[in-house]
Amino acid sequence: MIEAFLAWLVATFLLGPIQAGMTSRLEAARAPTAVVRQVTDCAAEAAPRLVARATEDPVWAVTTAIGAWIGTTDPVAVLRDAGPACPAAMQAARPFLAEG
DSSP single-letter state for residue 66: H
Tens digit of pLDDT for each residue in 4-33? 887 888 888 888 888 888 899 999 999 999
Among 40, 79, 78, 48, which residue's Cα sits nearest to residue 60?
A: 78
pTM higher than the cut 0.95:
no
Tens digit of pLDDT for each residue in 33-52? 999 999 999 988 888 899 89
Residues 6+ apart with CB under 8 A from 63: none
Q: SS3 for 27?
A: helix
Using only the alpha carbons of the chain, give its radius of gyration.
13
Determine the Cα–Cα distance for residues 59 and 51; give it in Å rounded to an integer.
13
Domain ranges of the chain: 6-99
